[in-house]
Amino acid sequence: MVTVLKLKNITKEFIEPRRNIVALNKINLELSNGQCIGLLGPSGSGKSTLLQIAGLLDNPTNGEIIINGEKCDTLSQEKKNLIRKKYIGFIYQNFYLLDSFSALENVIIPQLINGSSYKSAKKRAINLLSSLGLSKRIDNKPRELSGGEKQRVAILRAIANMPKIILADEPTGNLDKKNSENVIKIIKDLVSHYKISFIIATHNLSIVKKFDKIIKLSEGKLI
C-alpha cells in the first residue's frame, strides 16, 4: 500500500515561563492509502496537536512530516498551504460551517477556492449531498439543520475536493449515539468508495473499534 502520510519522531514543546511542556514526544505514524486510523486518548493527551501538525496547521519542535512523498516540515508557509489545499481535508467536533450560507453553498465554496468552476462545483455538491440523504436540505442554513445533518454537511465539505487525507478531530463529540454511529458508517463508506485515508481522533473506544488500526496516545506518547 502507498503511504500518504508519514510522521517521524514528531516532538512538540510549548515554552512556559517556569517550564517547557512536552505536548508530543517522538511520535511515529504512517497512514496508507484508503486506511482508517483511530487516534484514541483522553482530553489533553495531544490528539488535537498531532492532527494540527499532520495537517500543516502547526509546526513541530522536532521531527519530519512527509505527505504524498514530499517532506513538508521545512517548506515555506505558502507551499504548506498549497499542499494542505491539495491533499488534506478537516472535520471538527463543532462543525465550523459558514452560518450565512446554505448546506449547498458550504460544500460549493471549498471547491471554488480550489479552482473549480461554479457549474462543476454545484453539480458535485448536489450529488454529494444527495448521496447522504440531504437532497431536501440543500437550501437550509446550518441553524436549520440537526446536529447529525450538520456533521454530514461538514464531512461532505471536507471531501468535496477529493483529498487524499481527512483529519477528523472528535467528529462525533457533539452527537448522540445513533448519529455517532451513522457518522462512523459514512466515514467507513467513504474510505471504501473513494480510497480516502482518515485519522480520527476521539476519546471513545466504541467509535474506533472497527477501524483498520487504533493508536493510543497518553501524555503526548504513543502507548
Structural domains in the chain, CATH included, are 3-96+163-222 (3.40.50.300)
Mean pLDDT of 82-92: 92
Q: pLDDT value at position 124?
A: 93
Q: pLDDT value at position 92?
A: 87
pLDDT above 70: percentage of residues in the chain: 100
Q: pLDDT value at position 15?
A: 85
The whole-model pTM stands at 0.90
Mean pLDDT of the chain: 91
Cell of 122: 454545484
What does the pLDDT look like over 42-81, one tens digit per residue?
888 999 999 999 999 999 999 999 999 999 999 999 999 9
Tell me the C-alpha distance between 105 and 83, whole Å: 24
Q: Please check the confidence at residue 179 and state whether its pLDDT lies above 90.
A: no
Q: Please check the confidence at residue 16 and state whether its pLDDT lies above 90.
A: no
Q: Please check the confidence at residue 208 and state whether its pLDDT lies above 90.
A: no
Q: Is 55 exposed, middle or buried (0-12, 13-18, 19+ CB in 10 A)?
A: buried
What does the pLDDT look like over 42-52, one tens digit per residue?
888 999 999 99
Mean pLDDT of 96-114: 94
